[in-house]
Amino acid sequence: MSTQNIQQKIVPFFWFANEAEEAVNFYTSCFNNSKVGTVTRYDEASAKASGQPKGSVLTASFQLNGQEFIALNGGPVFKFTPAISFFVNCETENEVSDLWEKFSEGGQVMMELSEYPFSKKFGWIQDKYGLSWQLNLTGSPQKIIPSLMFTGNKAGKAEEAMNYYVSLFKNSEIKTLSRYPAGSQGKEGTVEFALFSLDNEDFIVMDSDYEHGFTFTPAVSFFVYCETQKEIDFFWDHLTDGGKEVECGWLEDKYGVSWQIVPTVLFGLLNNSDPERAKRAMQAMMKMKKLDIKTLEEA
Tens digits of residue pLDDT in 41-79: 887 777 877 788 888 888 999 999 999 999 999 999 999
Residue 90: pLDDT over 50: yes
Mean pLDDT of 160-164: 98
Least trusted range by pLDDT, from 69-83, 88-102, 237-251, 284-298:
284-298
Mean pLDDT of 88-102: 97
Mean pLDDT of 128-152: 95
Q: Are residues 99 and 11 in the same domain?
A: no
Distance CA 147, CA 145 (A): 6
Domain with 250 in it: what CATH number? 3.10.180.10
Inside any domain, residue 36:
yes
Mean pLDDT of 121-148: 96
Residue 5: pLDDT over 50: no
Tell me which residue of 57, 107, 208 sits closest to 123, measured CA to CA. Answer: 107
Q: Are residues 28 and 175 in the same domain?
A: no
Inside any domain, residue 213:
no
Q: Are residues 200 and 257 in the same domain?
A: no
Residue 267: pLDDT over 50: yes
Q: What is the pLDDT of residue 289?
A: 94
Residue 221: pLDDT over 90: yes
Q: Are residues 23 and 90 in the same domain?
A: no
Mean pLDDT of 148-164: 96
Q: Where are the alpha helices (DSSP H) in the chain?
A: 20-30, 44-50, 93-104, 158-168, 229-240, 266-270, 275-286, 293-298
Inside any domain, residue 212:
no
Q: What is the pLDDT of residue 272?
A: 66
Q: Are residues 96 and 182 in the same domain?
A: yes
Domain boundary among 207, 233, 259: 207
Question: Percent of the chain scored above 90 by pLDDT?
Answer: 74
Q: What is the pLDDT of residue 205?
A: 98
Number of domains composing the chain: 2
Residue 1: pLDDT over 50: no
Q: Are residues 66 and 35 in the same domain?
A: yes
Q: Are residues 123 and 191 in the same domain?
A: yes
Q: What is the pLDDT of residue 197?
A: 97
Distance CA 21, CA 126 (A): 19
Mean pLDDT of 116-121: 94
Mean pLDDT of 261-274: 78
**Pick the residue with more confidence: 282 or 218?**
218
Task: Give me the sheet containing 250-252, strands edge to edge.
Answer: 35-41, 57-64, 67-73, 10-16, 220-226, 258-263, 250-252, 244-245
**Pick the residue with more confidence: 293 or 5?**
293
Q: Are residues 105 and 195 in the same domain?
A: yes
Residue 3: pLDDT over 70: no
Inside any domain, residue 290:
yes
In a 10 Å sphere around its CB, with 0-12 CB exposed, 13-18 middle and 19+ buried, how is residue 275 labelled? exposed
Domain ranges, residue 158? 84-207
Q: Are residues 199 and 267 in the same domain?
A: no
Q: Are residues 156 and 259 in the same domain?
A: no
Kindly report the average pLDDT of the chain as a whole number: 92
Q: Are residues 36 and 109 in the same domain?
A: no
Residue 29: pLDDT over 90: yes
Domain boundary among 207, 238, 264: 207
Domain boundary among 207, 226, 254: 207
Domain with 90 in it: what CATH number? 3.30.720.110
Least trusted range by pLDDT, from 93-97, 106-110, 276-280:
276-280
Q: Are residues 227 and 277 in the same domain?
A: yes
